[in-house]
Structure 1
Amino acid sequence: MTTPTISVPPVTQLFADFALSRLDLPESARRAARMTLANGVGVMVGGSRDEAVSRAVAAMTAAGEPTSCAVWGRTERTSMTAAALVGGIAAHVQDFDDTDLRTVIHAAAPIVPAALAVAEAEQASLAEVIDAVAVGVEITLRVGLGLGMTHFARGWHITGTTGRIGAAAAAGRLLGLTPDQMVNALGIAATEAAGLQAAFGTMAKSFHAGKAAYDGVEAALLASFGFTAARDAIEGRRGLAAVMADDAEPAIMVDGLGSTWEIEHNAFKPYACGIVSHPVIDAGVELRDAGVTSQDVDSVRLRTNPVVLQVMGVADPTDGLQSKFSVYHCFAVGLLDGAGGPVQFSDERAVAPEVVALRRLVMIEPDPAVARDECYAHVSGRTSREVHIEHATGSEARPFTEGQLVNKFVQIGEPVLGADRARELVDALIHGDDRPVADLINLAAVTEG
């Protein structure tokens, strides 16, 4: 009996054609791209003083990188690729970026820094950057959707593996690649795909986003000089999809390409930690608002989707980076602080006695019937109370408003730029169009740090 041949669409070629096409974005998709860009710049600037970023800048300086591009939120300048690397680390290091909850991809962290680094070198306009971000995020999310569930389950960090493909598309569009060059850029990026979940809770997690941005820019530059790669690097028999997943469906990656927009599903984090724990923080905040205090609590039972414990299972974090991957810590700061910003995931808060004590009272019950953005919390002790978070704050069902995004941007941008300049910058990103990227870089310029 002859085995039927399964026709696989030429995904890499179709993505290349799409990346260079004249975009006719519906207003909903263009707004999503603007919001994604604004949120991406906000977390880049907000994370620019993190220790991981400073160490990366020092390493790039020691490597003798040239100084053609800005490092947003800092005084240093570096090369186009290194600016993308450092920007990606800054955008992801606080875990305060964006997320597609279906794939758990943080697309802006690699795409926005890559696009901005190339845009500065090419003297592009904001409108051109918005189109590049839309293309890069769209391709990234589509690759993630087509990789299925086993890719993530194997332990790949999907932001790293898929993000460099979208970063190459965004960079290649801004560089004005030819269609053949774009196919090669995507192929080069695909063969560099990497990122292990073992790095979660360390600086190397944010390095995944930074290296994806770096590799995307590098791939586009290499292709622009005639460097070649496999033309079926994504969908081929030994391509990314076949090698990195057991249940990949490349056809899904290009289904509706150019007519339906996955970027519209992109969500923005209200809390600086893994998004699957956001309903847990919401539960803690809601209990606090109802008058429950830590003194009232003898035990806490949280019923969550199983992925929460898989990704956020650090029971006793010892520093801020680890606390971002602790569902126990997320509930504790939600109840104690009524918040989940960068302060709640600092080294100091990770070891605060009252936080440690409350974390140890929390038990997790994984339940596949509970959605990823849902949580049931039951508190026992001096008071007994249960809350149900049907959809987390910032999820697709309860999306960030423009006002909330502006407030978040100002909150994290103020320590670096001051409140007035942070507000002016986010307003330009959301409402500007033909403004040169150089103007935005000037708004983000600092004299120290």
Structure 2
Amino acid sequence: MLVHLHDGDVAAGVARKLAEAAAHYQTPADSALIQSARLAVLDTVGCMIAGASDEATVGVAALTHAGGGKCTVFGQEWLRSAPDAALINGTAAHALDFDDACTTALGHTSAVLVPALIAVAEAEDLSGAALVDAFIVGVEVQDRLGRLFNPEHYAAGWHSTSTLCAIGAAAGCAHLLGLGADGILAAISNCFSMAGGSKKQIGSEMKPIHAGLAARAGVEAALLARAGISGDEEPLAGDWGMLRQFNANPDAKRVAQVMVDLRMGNALREGVLQMKRFPCCAATHKSLDGVMELLGDQGVDPASVALIETWVPADLAANLRYHHPKNIIEARFSMAYCATRILDTGGLKLSDFTAPALAQFATPENLSKVKMYGLENGDDPMGVPVRTRMTLTSGALIETTVVHTRGSTERPLTSDEVFEKFVDCCVHAGCDAKVAALWGDLLNSLPHATKTQEVMAGLRSA
């Protein structure tokens, strides 16, 4: 049954158009697009491996039925069902906050999409090429929803990873299952009933579980659609539609702009995914890039830095609310801790986020060296340039402004850097570096693999 819409509801038909575009998508000859998807999968699986032993991951794994399916769970001996594997691997992917972020959805795209799609591809014995196609579809849907819902949705306190990214995963999984436009629309609508999560959980163990829950929701929404279950055919529009429920009220102009040139792959080509150089909240990264630039480009002696000041968009600064972090989860959302670790070590690594490191370095003296101020958000908080200034013990002032962070499309990580990050993630998890490199090579073959199962089995047996 359809909810009655107001005449001229600007979002009427948008969900159907997204579903139709997703259904009609075919594998492109664009090797650069496939390369972008491949690197995102490699990067995310590295994050899954690194986060497999995190307390949040172990906790959700304990709730699932070991041996109950055909799907790989990193760090676990037993296979799981597709929904359970997506839940555990999604949590692991986001556990250390080293996974990529979408500049429009303002959520963690690949930590939701990749675990969901790998699980479905393994369970259904599908190819790596089909998985890559579905990833491209999922990114596009997340991007279009992000531009439709934000900045109001994110500013209202919704954790977009739990909402918009879940729905994008549902569309991607439905495409992977070959459901067609009606089935993809059903999956999107079904997932509306599963989506939800607040930024109140930032800095807690529930925050990474949001990614796992979203990945599981994407899988289950698509499987329900395949079973013939469908929700309302206008999930976005109407009084009780997703847009109004999730605090977004776009006008006709914004809707028209969002739906221009609706082709799968545009978002990934335009570079909406921002890979992470540092294992901490994306809201810190332009500031941290600024600290790195001032230390490197101007040859500043870290010992001579008396004060670091940085100006961050208010919606992003609100995520960084732990000036004096009490644990390693809060430390990932502490501008003060992250910036002072760079002063001490010249970089920021996974090893900086351990209980011993926090106890040694999160001192009042160190943390007092950093001050953060809020800026106007504009329509695109992730696109706002960030200014960082150092006051030296001599009284001299030096500063820089970072427009594009490392890992963005304007300043991307190279293929070699992504591969090195993957190996580092595996080594952090206790793997031998040579074995990790073999795993990376195996994952890089995924777009050409006849069976995703075989690639995952190779990772389990290596």
Q: Give me the TM-score of the superposition, normalised by structure 1.
A: 0.91
1:52 to 56, 68, 72: 56
Aligned equivalents of 1:395, 1:7: Cα separation in 2: 32
Cα distance in structure 2, aligned partners of 1:67 and 1:357? 52
Q: Which amino acid aligns with 1:74?
A: Q
CA contact (8 A) 1:308 1:327 kept: no
Please tell me whether residue 334 in structure 1 is matched to residue 347 in structure 2: no
- The yes-or-no answer on 1:319 pairing with 2:319 is no
Aligned pair partner of 1:429 in 443, 446, 453 = 443
Is 1:14 aligned to 2:17, yes or no?
yes
Corresponding residue to 2:232 among 227, 230, 244: 230
2:78 counterpart (62, 76, 79): 76
SS of alignment partner, residue 195 of structure 1: coil
| Secondary structure class of the residue paired with 1:351 | helix
Cα distance per residue 1:194-236 (max 9 Å; x no partner): 0100000111111111111101111111111111201111234
- Superposed displacement of residue 87, structure 1: 0.8
Q: Which of 379, 396, 399 is the matching residue for 1:384? A: 396
Amino acid at match of 2:423: V
| CA displacement at 1:407 relative to structure 2 | 0.8
Confirm or deny: 8 A CA contact 1:47 1:91 kept in the other structure.
Answer: yes
Q: Distance in 2 between matches of 1:440 and 1:51?
A: 27
Q: 1:168 to 1:102 in 2, by over 3 A?
A: closer
- Partner deviation per Cα, 1:98-152 (whole Å, 9 max, x = no partner): 1123442211011100000010011111111100111111111211111021101
**Distance (Å, rounded) in 2 between the aligned partners of 1:418 and 1:96:** 20
Q: How does 1:321-400 map to 2 (within 5 A)?
A: 321-353=329-361, 356-368=364-376, 372=384, 374-382=386-394, 384-390=396-402, 391-400=404-413
* Pairwise CA distance, 1:293: 5.1
2:264 paired with 1:256 = no
How much has 1:385 moved relative to structure 2? Answer: 4.2
- State, as a whole percentage, how many aligned pairs show the same letter: 27
Paired letter, 1:254: M
Change in CA separation of 1:325 and 1:440 when aligned onto 2, cut-off 3 Å: same
RMSD of the TM alignment (CA)?
Answer: 2.4
The aligned residue for residue 282 of structure 1 is: 289
* 1:303 to 2:317 alignment: no
Cα deviation 1:6-35 (Å, max 9, x = unaligned): 543512212222222242433333222222
Change (3 A) 1:328 1:136: same
d(CA) in 2 for partners of 1:365 and 1:443?
A: 48
Equivalent-residue separation in structure 2 for 1:327 and 1:200 (angstroms): 14
Aligned to 1:172: 174
Contact between 2:137 and 2:264, CA under 8 Å: does it hold in 1? no
Q: How far apart in 2 are the matches of 1:421 and 1:127? A: 24
Do the aligned partners of residues 141 and 326 (structure 1) sit closer, same or farther apart at CA in structure 2, a change above 3 Å counting?
A: same
How many pairs align?
Answer: 443
Change in 2 beyond 3 A, CA 1:416/1:233? farther
Query: Is 1:445 matched up with 2:452?
Result: no
Report the more deviating stretch, 86-95 or 97-106.
Answer: 97-106
Cα drift, residue 337 of structure 1 = 1.7
Q: In structure 1, the residue corresponding to 2:103 is in which secondary structure?
A: coil
1:219 aligns with 2:234: no
| CA apart distance, 1:437 | 1.1
C-alpha offsets along residues 360-418 of structure 1, whole Å, 9 cap, x if unaligned?
Answer: 22122333499545332222324634131423222232111111111111110233543
Q: Which residue of 2 aligns with 1:408?
A: 421
Runs of 5+ consecutive residues of structure 1 not aligned to the other structure: none
**Distance change >3 Å, CA 381–CA 354, structure 1 → 2:** farther
> How far is 1:161 from its partner?
0.5
Letter in 1 for 2:240: R
CA distance, structure 1, for counterparts of residue 361 and residue 341 of structure 2 = 12
Distance in 2 of aligned mates of 1:50 and 1:259: 34
Match of 1:32 among 33, 36, 58: 36
Greater alpha carbon shift after TM alignment, 48-57 vs 284-293: 284-293
Q: Which of the numbers 233, 244, 247 marks the counterpart of 1:245?
A: 247
| d(CA) in 2 for partners of 1:245, 1:110 | 22
Whether the 8 Å contact between 2:12 and 2:234 is mirrored in structure 1 is no
User: Using the alignment, how far apart are the partners of 2:230 and 2:25 within structure 1?
Assistant: 25
Conservation of the 8 A alpha-carbon contact between 1:53 and 1:89: yes
TM-score, normalised on structure 2? 0.89
| Secondary structure of 2:420 counterpart | helix
Instruction: Say if 1:65 and 1:446 are closer, same or farther in 2 by CA, change over 3 A.
Output: closer
How far apart in 2 are the matches of 1:251 and 1:94? 37
1:178 is displaced (CA, Å) by 4.0
Tell me if the contact between 1:277 and 1:327 (Cα under 8 Å) persists in the aligned partners. yes
| 2:197 equivalent in structure 1 | 195
Bigger Cα displacement from structure 2, 422-431 vs 399-408:
422-431
Deviation string, structure 1 residues 158-184 (Cα, Å, up to 9, x no partner): 111111111111221222224322221
- Name whichever of 197-206 and 6-15 sits farther off: 6-15
